[in-house]
Chains A and B, each alone.
Chain A
Amino acid sequence: MSKLLVENKDIAVPGEVLAEGMDNLPGPGTYRDGEKIRASGLGLVQIEGRAIKLINLSGKYIPKNGDTIIGKVEDITFSGWRIETNSAYSAMLSMKDATSDYIARGADLTQYYNLGDYVVCKIVNVTSQKLVDVSMKGPGLRGLKGGRVFSVNTHKVPRIIGKQGSMIGMIKNATDCRIIVGQNGWVWIDGEPDKELLAIKTIKKIEEESHLSGLTEQIKSFLEKETGKKIEEARGNYNGL
């Protein structure tokens, strides 16, 4: 006799039994322990047919193919750059994925990206051993000059960006800052000092209150109160860049 012990959108803690019996299937974020299905992390339960999924609420970033991330150059090798990704795994940016310029043998690679520089890049390959390759080829991918980088919970990134970028677009409109949100939880921001602080405050607020519904409205009124001007919601396709 199978039994489902949780409902949709319940919060589960690591090891919590989500279902008993063999009628349900363990999805991402869960595992089977004999007759039981358990949660492998802290997250929201999502039931899709017979499968039980868990949307993580905490934990480090895990590199995923296709993600646009903000990375930091941590080493320069013979064939490219090693990029820190705010996760347990560093990524490789090879010369051919970094620029379309001709690079002579033995050239000084620091003229492209130097140690400590931040870049917006895209993950193009993740092997089963978590060797990560990134590329700079694509719209919006570039080295970042000026500004500052701070980190947020990587699982809150979708909320910070909002539906089709509505949330981040609104912050940009309100503060006139240039903001880039990487999927790995690093956020780059550049603007006028006081506006920049407001943008950071807003993003931290979203991070804290991401579980509440009607967040966009709340953030809108917060920004209107802080800036004292009417804010229009951002429209259009926007992917966090």
Chain B
Amino acid sequence: MYEEGLHNHIVKLLKAGVRLDGRKLLDYRKPIKVEYGVSKTAEGSARVHIENTDVMVGVKMEVGEPYPDMPDQGTIIVGAELTPLANPNFELGPPGIDAIELARVVDRGIRESKALDFKKLCIKKGEKVWLLLIDIIPINDDGNLIDASALAVLAALKDANFPKYDEKTEKIDYKEKTDKKVELTKEPIAVTVVKIGDSFIVDPTTEEEKVIDTRVTISTKKDGSLCAIQKGGDMPLTSDEIMQMVDIAIEKAKELREVL
């Protein structure tokens, strides 16, 4: 249900330079907390809290066949499950459009930044490669799931160790972790910049998410170069506005990078 009254009220507040919860327009909620290794059974896991938003991510590793067009590369498979546990508006069943978007935006950030060298996930060219299954499970949704998930995925990948793999029997011993880490060469940080009325904000809460005009998720690397962009919402943007949003995202990514 679109809430016109709430939209008008938020626009009024934003013009005065404050948000519903008293934050400034370009402030993230504080503190942002990252916990590593929250799951014993996953090869790598992490949990990120941005105040009440709470996302858990697990990385499982499997050995499988590579894609025919990339015989010497492993791959990542990102999935997200938006359960009613996190938000009563989410429904059970196959992933909806929001879950798919969330997973793909996060996937694109990792993939296009070349944060993982997929060639290093190869065990035997054309036959066996490592598949990294990354699952995003929001525990509580109080807005800005995309940024929290991207951060949690990065943290979980940092936490991940390969399990022991016996090449003769072709079996993985999940009970035994090796010292070998997943090599993460870059840290793509996703920042979602939201436009409501004429104002740009970051880190929207669920209430603000109900009335957004446009949102753009921008993943950037440490040197400020872009690796992925995703636009959502109904309203159009001018190229000037997009440039402004990119600048905001690069600036804010520095803040997020510090918590990892």
Within 202-233 of A, Cβ neighbours of B (below 8 Å) are at none
CB distance from B79 to the nearest CB of A (A): 33
Whether B22 contacts A145 by the Cβ 8 Å rule is: no
CB distance from B24 to the nearest CB of A (A): 12
Decide: A148 near B20, CB < 8 A? Known: A116-B5, A193-B12, A193-B13: yes
Contacts of B2 in A (CB 8 A): 116
Chain B proximity mask over A83-124: 1 for CB below 8 Å, otherwise 0: 000000000000000000000000000000001111000000
Indicate whether B243 reaches chain A with its CB closer than 8 angstroms.
Answer: no
Q: Which single residue of chain A is at the shortest CB-CB distance from B12? A: A193
CB distance from B15 to the nearest CB of A (A): 9
Chain A proximity mask over B1-32: 1 for CB below 8 Å, otherwise 0: 11111101100110011101010000000000
Within 126-166 of A, Cβ neighbours of B (below 8 Å) are at 144-148
Decide: A118 near B5, CB < 8 A? Known: A193-B12, A193-B13: yes
Docked Cα-Cα span, A144 to B8, in Å, equals: 13
Whether B22 contacts A148 by the Cβ 8 Å rule is: no
Contacts of B17 in A (CB 8 A): 193
Which 4 A-B residue pairs are closest in the complex by CB-CB distance?
A: A193-B16, A197-B22, A193-B18, A148-B9
Contacts of A116 in B (CB 8 A): 1-5
Residues of B that sit less than 8 Å from A by CB: 1-6, 8-9, 12-13, 16-18, 20, 22
Whether A148 contacts B6 by the Cβ 8 Å rule is: yes
Q: Which size class do A's interface residues fall under?
A: 10 to 19
CB distance from A148 to the nearest CB of B (A): 5
Decide: A117 near B1, CB < 8 A? Known: A148-B20, A193-B18, A197-B22: no
Q: Which single residue of chain B is at the shortest CB-CB distance from A194? A: B18
Chain B proximity mask over A181-197: 1 for CB below 8 Å, otherwise 0: 00000000010111011
Q: List 15 A-B contacts (CB under 8 A).
A: A115-B1, A116-B3, A145-B5, A146-B9, A147-B5, A147-B9, A148-B5, A148-B6, A148-B9, A190-B9, A193-B12, A193-B13, A196-B13, A197-B22, A201-B22
Decide: A117 near B5, CB < 8 A? Known: A148-B20, A193-B18, A197-B22: yes
Decide: A146 near B8, CB < 8 A? Known: A116-B1, A116-B3: yes
Interface-central residue, A116, A144, A201, by most chain B CB under 10 Å: A116
Whether B18 contacts A197 by the Cβ 8 Å rule is: yes
Q: Which single residue of chain A is at the shortest CB-CB distance from B10? A: A148
Contacts of B1 in A (CB 8 A): 74, 115-116
Whether A146 contacts B5 by the Cβ 8 Å rule is: yes
CB distance from A191 to the nearest CB of B (A): 11
Q: Which single residue of chain A is at the shortest CB-CB distance from B14? A: A193
Docked Cα-Cα span, A144 to B22, in Å, equals: 23
Docked Cα-Cα span, A190 to B1, in Å, equals: 22
Docked Cα-Cα span, A117 to B22, in Å, equals: 24
Contacts of A197 in B (CB 8 A): 18, 22
CB distance from A173 to the nearest CB of B (A): 21
CB distance from A88 to the nearest CB of B (A): 13
Contacts of A74 in B (CB 8 A): 1
Contacts of A194 in B (CB 8 A): 16, 18
CB distance from B10 to the nearest CB of A (A): 8
